[in-house]
Amino acid sequence: MTSVGTQGAEHQQETGPGPHGYSPQKAEHLKRLRRIEGQVRGLQRMVDEDVYCIDILTQVSANTKALQAFALSLLEEHLRHCVAAAAEEGGDALDAKVAEATAAISRLLRT
């Protein structure tokens, strides 16, 4: 996995170290990501073994859907936790979290 960029570091500074919306399900998320990682390794093996291209593309589609499902789950948790907490604060904090979530949704829709 890649390291958190500057936006993530700024976010951590704003909110401090603490549980995020995904924290209660962290073990489940890690398990899911390990499964996806295994699927990607399976794709590498398929290419290495010269498997028929359509079969590989079918697996790519399954991997893509698995990552999208993970992203939607994470987004839902963000909305329920981070955005909901900002809604209690109101004002600029809420505006910033809504803008952040909207940008994340936009990035997800582009893929």
Global pTM reads: 0.72
Fold of 24-110: Methane Monooxygenase Hydroxylase; Chain G, domain 1 (1.20.58)
Digit-coded pLDDT (tens) for 49-98: 999 999 999 999 999 999 999 999 999 998 988 888 889 888 898 999 99
Confidence band for 111, pLDDT divided at 50, 70 and 90: low
How far is Cα 83 from Cα 47, in angstroms, rounded to an integer?
42
Task: Give me the pLDDT at residue 23, please.
Answer: 75
How far is Cα 28 from Cα 32, in angstroms, rounded to an integer?
6
Digit-coded pLDDT (tens) for 6-61: 344 444 434 444 577 777 788 899 999 999 999 999 999 999 999 999 999 999 99
